[in-house]
């Protein structure tokens, strides 16, 4: 390979209407801090009904592991709750809103259709080797405010309505406006592409932040 992909220019890009990709938005230290923070939260709820889990969808379990913050994504049927069998859902960390505000502000410079959002819930997803996410629509929230997504660890390809973008560790992605209910998904992580500074041996973490209720 003539060039390492990480050495090539990757400017902030408007991928499609309402979809903005912000490469390397998170510093290496911030990425490592977010991994440590997620692990601490996961340890705190281990063994409870709100623990990080592989949700059952229909007759099968997802390959990815999910942990809900703020609101819990219950399945069969899909619904949002803040308590499961007497166990409170962990709150959204305060630093998530700070990050979301900075990401939204930068994304708005590229697409004016992206509006503000309050982080009422977040999903911390861990994708082990071989685990992707089929195309789906984020439709559980009543609010139409944008989704803010962070990638940490190995690379993946994000697909949304016919568009594709490679997400590397530290990248942020926003989809809102006309793309808020767009079908999207990710491929399994590419082995060996994760930087050492994250503290992840393999796989990738994706943090998606969302607003649940209309303002």
CA–CA dist 142, 151 (Å, integer): 25
Maximum separation of any 2 CA atoms in the chain, in Å: 56
Nearest-angstrom CA–CA distance, 152 and 197? 10
136 is in an annotated binding site: yes
Determine which helix (DSSP H) or strand (DSSP E) holds 32, and give its type and residue range.
helix 28-45
Q: Name which of 34, 45, 88 is nearest 67 in CA terms.
A: 45
- From the list 192, 185, 188, the residue with the least C-alpha distance to 164 is 185
87: annotated binding-site residue?
A: no
> What is the token pair recorded at 29?
């230290």
**Angle, CA of 167, 26 and 54, to the nearest 5°:** 55
Annotated binding site: 136, 138, 184
Q: Can you say which residues are annotated as belonging to the binding site for Fe cation?
A: 136, 138, 184
């Amino acid at each position: 390979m003539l060039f390492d992909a990480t050495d090539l220019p990757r400017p902030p890009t408007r991928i499609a209407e309402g979809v903005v990709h912000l490469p390397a938005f998170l510093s290496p230290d911030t990425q490592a801090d977010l991994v440590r923070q997620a692990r601490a939260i996961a340890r705190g709820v281990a063994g409870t009904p709100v623990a990080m889990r592989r949700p059952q969808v229909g007759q099968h379990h997802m390959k990815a592991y999910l942990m809900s913050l703020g609101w819990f994504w219950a399945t069969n049927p899909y619904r949002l709750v803040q308590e499961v069998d007497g166990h409170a859902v962990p709150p959204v960390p305060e630093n998530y809103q700070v990050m979301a505000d900075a990401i939204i502000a930068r994304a708005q410079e590229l697409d004016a259709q992206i509006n503000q959002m309050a982080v009422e819930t977040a999903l911390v997803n861990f994708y082990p080797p071989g685990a992707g996410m089929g195309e789906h629509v984020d439709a559980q929230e009543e609010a139409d405010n944008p989704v803010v997504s962070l990638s940490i660890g190995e690379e993946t390809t994000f697909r949304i309505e016919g568009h594709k973008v490679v997400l590397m560790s530290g990248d942020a992605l926003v989809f809102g406006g006309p793309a808020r209910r767009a079908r999207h998904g990710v491929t399994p992580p590419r082995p060996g592409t994760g930087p050492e500074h994250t503290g992840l041996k393999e796989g990738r973490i994706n943090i998606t932040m969302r607003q649940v209720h209309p303002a």
